[in-house]
Amino acid sequence: MSDGRTPGTSPEHDPGPPRDRAARGWRARYDGARTRYRLFRDGLRHRPGVDRCWRWGIGVFGGLVVIVGLVLVPYPGPGWLIVFTGLAVLSSEFETAQRVLQYARRHYDRWNAWQRRQHVVVRLLLLAATGAVVLVTLWLLDVLGLVGDWLGWDAPWLDSPLEPFA
């Protein structure tokens, strides 16, 4: 055959170009997991007491993840990623959380786009403001005093002004 097919194959049964097996496997696993979760949730919905406990558990867990993420936002690291993960957990059960997640993503993307358009001086001022927030919270939590004690610095201004931490 002059068209490159092996003998005994017809054009009707030509599979076409080979697909990426890794991508096909990932998609199949994702769809399978999503289907299993939907079946699991459908089973829980038929038992109102268990369903209510499940929703409460998701609400408490997702809320805690969001709160931890919000605390970590000013610090270097994945603060916003943790917030969005908590919202995604909540949105698996609550439509309001799904709307909040979409709203937060949209405004986060707008904020990042605005920052990229700014002059380097504005960016540096934003970085300095973030650094000031981090230093003030570390000072209030007496982390600076603890590090000063480790290094042998006797500087009373490093100690937290808050009584429980001092």
Q: How confident is the model at residue 82 (pLDDT cuts 50, 70, 90)?
A: very high
- Asked whether residue 41 is domain-assigned, the answer is no
**Assigned domain for 113 exists:** yes
Q: Are 83 and 76 in contact (CB under 8 A)?
A: no
Amino acid at position 54, single letter: W
CA count, 13 A, side-chain hemisphere, 144: 15
- Both tokens of 76, joined, read 């270097």
AA identity, residue 93:
E
State the residue for tokens 């699991």.
40
pLDDT at 66: 93
Residue 9: inside a domain = no
Given this model, what pLDDT does residue 23 score?
A: 54
User: What angle in degrees, to the nearest 10, is found between the helix axes of 143-151 and 120-140?
Assistant: 80
CA pair distance 101, 97, nearest whole angstrom: 6
Structural domain of residue 122, as residue ranges?
Answer: 50-151
> pTM for the complete prediction?
0.59
- 61-72 as b/e: b if 16+ CB within 10 A: ebeebbeebeeb
Locate 131 and state its tokens. 């650094």
CA dihedral 11, 17, 21, 25 (to 10 degrees): -70
In the chain, the number of structural domains is 1
Confirm whether 64 is domain-assigned.
yes
Q: Looking at the predicted structure, is the pLDDT value of residue 18 above 70?
A: no
Percent pLDDT > 90 in the chain is 30
Tell me if 1 is assigned to some domain: no
Residue 157 belongs to some domain of the structure: no
Q: Of residues 15 and 26, which shows the higher confidence score?
A: 26
Q: Is position 32 within any domain?
A: no
- Whether 23 is covered by a domain: the verdict is no
Strand ranges (E), 77-159? none
